Amino acid sequence: MPSRWFIGLTSGTSADGVDAALLEMEGVGLNLKVRLNQALSQPYGHDLRALLIQVAGLGPCDARLLALAHRLLGEKFAAAALQVADRARFALQKVQCIGCTGHTIRHDPEGRFPSTLAVGMAEIVAERTGITTVHDFRNRDMAAGGQGVPLAALADYLLFRDPKENRLLLHLGGLARLVFIPARGRIQDLRGFDAGPCNLLLGGLIRQITGGRDTYDPGGKHAVQGRCLEPVLHRWLGHPYLARRPPKSLPRDFFGEAFITQVVDQARREKWDSHDLLCTANHFVTRAVADAIRRFLPSDMTPDRVLLSGGGVRNGLLLQLLQKQLAGIVTERTDAVGVPAEARKAISTGVLTALAVDGVPANVPSATGATGSRLLGSWTPGSALNWARCLAWMAAQSPATGPPMAEAG
């Protein structure tokens, strides 16, 4: 079977920029073999980043700003798709499909009507590239009663499973998200959930402390100068979300702008040193992760290896604290098993896209809590020729390519 090509596009909760990955795929469905050809990150400009933070806030949002963010981010996604193919010197017309997660500005799994909303016009991506674009993956899982998180657990299973090791994937992005893949486990044995906040909290604190001058703490250089405020740490660790059993996903507002504003205001009243506050936040992130592992993973399946991804891998203090919390467990970046840590989400999106094209239900109910497996994604056709190729491929596939979910392993 000839290789197929896909592009995965993502934008993390921290609103740092767009990640793109050009992937070569062999096989079909659950038998996919994935090779990364090219990956890149395109940082957001100051104005676009400020706009995304504004529309993701809890206060009133002008619909015009929301529509503008939707359009501008679509242009940014399209530019990243074009650039990743150009950098690889690869003819874009050979790509079968592009997958685009959008940028999540609202995720509310707690309400009477759980909902999620992402911006980034997939129609712009399809228009600029001529390639059929699959998007809006998360909503179908939520419609089926799931959290919509961690939606890429099946992609992680295909990329990272190992016959001898219990592996825990820890994504240190805007949130700290876990996916547990037991050795020789079946797909329904996967577990995953949001352990707590990460760069959403750390970046928000540095942004408010500096009045917007800085958007992150490079390498944790400010936080490492402080000391942990133990009473504050223990108060944060008492947040009800952290004690809730999975499946679960973290609403942004639990540790978002309102929470950060309250913390910074208190720090100024109490005359806490800003370095101490940042240091405490790093301790909090790692303690929340370690506590979640101990509380919610099967007691007889201790991870043999923790594989790290996301922008948090650049924070030296965060990694040092995490290694102390997980003493005795091998902790390393996903690069060690062939997946660049900062491209993992874009690669996973490409895999989800291939599964959609192959007609494979891609959500994992044991991880998201959905009532069953569902085909994911909405479709925006590319050029007439590309769309015809996609339709012909999909028509040739059986309704469930590869082994049934209950038997794969």
**What local confidence, expressed as pLDDT, does residue 2 receive?**
82
122 in Cβ contact with 380 (< 8 Å)? yes
- Phi, psi (rounded to 5 degrees) for 94: -80, -15
**What local confidence, expressed as pLDDT, does residue 409 receive?**
37
Tell me how far apart the 2 most distant CA atoms of the chain are, in Å: 66
* Structure-block tokens of residue 384: 């007439």
Q: What is the DSSP letter of 239?
A: -
The total number of residues shown for the chain amounts to: 409
133-135 and 167-172 beta bridge pairing: unpaired
Q: Which domains does the chain have, with CATH numbers?
A: 4-148+374-396 (3.30.420.40), 155-341 (3.30.420.40)
**What local confidence, expressed as pLDDT, does residue 365 receive?**
97
Identity of the amino acid at 239: H
34 in Cβ contact with 158 (< 8 Å)? yes
**What local confidence, expressed as pLDDT, does residue 58 receive?**
64
Tens of each residue's pLDDT in the chain, 409 residues: 689 999 999 998 788 899 999 999 999 999 999 999 999 999 999 999 989 988 987 667 789 999 999 999 999 999 999 999 999 999 999 999 999 999 999 899 888 899 999 999 999 999 999 999 999 999 999 999 999 999 999 999 999 999 999 999 999 999 999 999 999 889 999 999 999 999 999 999 998 998 888 888 888 999 999 999 999 999 999 999 999 999 999 998 899 888 999 999 999 999 999 999 999 999 999 999 999 999 999 888 899 999 999 999 999 999 999 999 999 999 999 999 999 999 999 999 999 999 999 999 999 999 999 999 999 999 999 999 999 999 999 999 866 444 444 444 3
101 in Cβ contact with 10 (< 8 Å)? yes
Instruction: Give DSSP secondary structure letters for 62-90.
Output: -HHHHHHHHHHHHHHHHHHHHHHHHHTT-
Instruction: Give DSSP secondary structure letters for 245-274.
Output: PSS----GGGSSHHHHHHHHHHHHHHT--H
105: left (phi over 0), alpha (psi -120 to 50) or beta: alpha
**What local confidence, expressed as pLDDT, does residue 53 receive?**
87
**What local confidence, expressed as pLDDT, does residue 403 receive?**
42
CA distance 9 to 347: 8
